[in-house]
């Protein structure tokens, strides 16, 4: 399972809720989860609000499992 999707579902957020909470466009969230964009290439400006919205640190967000 995609890391972002796993983290999002573990805190019981929809993609839309995560987009609103993080300030990222819904399409961006969808593309990360579909693998059309890679989290490994995410900028700190996008990673920080996303990790905050998921209540994880940036390292946990970007960790490959």
The DSSP code sequence of the chain is --HHHHHHHHTT--HHHHHHHHT--HHHHHHHHHTSS-GGG--HHHHHHHHHHHTS-HHHHH---
Query: 43 or 63, which is more confident?
Result: 43
pLDDT at residue 62 greater than cutoff 90: no
Domains of the chain (ranges, CATH numbers): 3-62 (1.10.260.40)
pLDDT at residue 64 greater than cutoff 90: no
Confidence of residue 17 (pLDDT cuts 50, 70, 90): very high
Specify the pLDDT at position 37: 92
User: How does pLDDT run across 18-53, given as a tens digit for each residue?
Assistant: 999 999 999 999 999 999 999 888 899 989 999 999
């Amino acid at each position: 399972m995609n890391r972002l999707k796993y983290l999002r579902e573990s805190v019981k957020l929809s993609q839309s809720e995560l987009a609103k909470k993080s300030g990222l466009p819904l399409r961006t969230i969808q593309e990360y989860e579909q693998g059309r964009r890679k989290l490994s290439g995410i900028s700190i400006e996008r990673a920080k609000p996303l990790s905050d919205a998921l209540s994880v640190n940036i390292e946990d967000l970007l960790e490959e499992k």
